[in-house]
């Protein structure tokens, strides 16, 4: 829906810029610049959402890396029973008990 709204803004900007360009050429340029700024604003909002999702994923990766690093320090009998994908919660409890 946002793409349709953005397309509508661009079309309206073009339709306003053409008559202004016949009146004074620089007004048409100003209208084009204003439309570009609006389009850039919408794009920046989407990039901000993508960046926040990437930041959240980075937090998961860092946490999982810490869990695996701590797993390397476990005794061998615990390493044999540890499967990160299946029992991450149990492992976190084991590590917190050792620390």
Report pLDDT for 14: 87
Q: How confident is the model at residue 95 (pLDDT cuts 50, 70, 90)?
A: low
Report the C-alpha gap between 94 and 70 in whole angstroms: 10
DSSP of 3-49, one letter per residue?
HHHHHHHHHHHHHHHHHHHHH-HHHHHHHHHHHHHHHHHHHHHHHHH
Report pLDDT for 37: 93
Token pair of 39 as six digits: 């389009």
Report pLDDT for 98: 55
Would you say residue 94 has pLDDT above 70?
no
Domain ranges of the chain: 2-98
Q: What is the mean pLDDT of residues 9-19?
A: 87
Report the C-alpha gap between 94 and 47 in whole angstroms: 39
Q: What is the pTM of this model?
A: 0.52
Report pLDDT for 92: 67
- Contacts of residue 30, defined as CB under 8 A and 6 or more positions apart, other chains included, come to 20
Report pLDDT for 81: 64
């Amino acid at each position: 829906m946002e793409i349709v709204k953005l397309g509508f803004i661009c079309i309206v900007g073009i339709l306003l810029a053409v008559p202004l360009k016949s009146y004074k050429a620089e007004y048409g340029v100003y209208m084009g610049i204003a439309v570009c700024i609006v389009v850039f604003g919408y794009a920046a909002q989407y990039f901000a959402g993508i960046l926040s999702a990437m930041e959240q994923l980075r937090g998961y990766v860092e946490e999982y890396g810490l869990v695996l690093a701590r797993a390397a320090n476990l005794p061998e009998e615990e390493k044999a029973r540890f499967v990160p994908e299946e029992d991450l919660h149990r492992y976190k409890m084991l590590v917190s008990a050792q620390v």
